[in-house]
């Protein structure tokens, strides 16, 4: 029996793949909707402090109606979920290799 590494398309087709990431993105979207413009203001303030050009980009997206609290919340949740899933898969891979 040969085991092979799945590519990203195959991973997305696996039932349950990305569950944590999708769940946190949905939660982030709901929280962002509740807080509305506060999330956009906070994101813009942080972006201006770290990288002013990013803050300007956020302002432009907001002025065109392409950015809302729910969008920011979804992006934060999606990124957090990706980090958690990546860390968990790295931990589990290392754990499994100890018992071969």
Number of domains forming the structure of the chain: 1
Residue at 90 is within a domain:
yes
- Which pLDDT does position 92 carry in this prediction? 63
pTM: 0.59
pLDDT tens, position by position, 25-76: 899 888 888 887 787 888 788 888 988 888 888 888 888 877 888 888 888 8
Residue at 69 is within a domain:
yes
Q: Which domain holds residue 65?
A: 28-94
Q: Which residues contact 45 (CB under 8 A, 6 or more apart)?
A: 55
Instruction: Provide the pLDDT confidence category of residue 20 given band limits of 50, 70 and 90.
Output: confident
User: Residue 52 to residues 1, 41, 48, 58: CA-CA distances in angstroms?
Assistant: 54, 14, 4, 10
């Amino acid at each position: 029996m040969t085991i092979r590494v799945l590519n990203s398309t195959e991973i997305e087709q696996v039932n349950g793949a990305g569950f944590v990431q999708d769940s946190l993105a949905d939660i982030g979207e709901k929280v962002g909707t509740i807080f509305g413009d506060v999330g956009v203001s906070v994101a813009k303030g942080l972006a201006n402090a770290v990288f002013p050009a990013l803050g300007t980009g956020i302002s432009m997206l907001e002025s065109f109606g392409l950015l809302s609290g729910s969008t920011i919340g979804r992006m934060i949740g999606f990124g957090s979920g990706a980090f958690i899933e990546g860390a968990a898969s790295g931990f589990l891979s290392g754990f499994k290799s100890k018992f071969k």
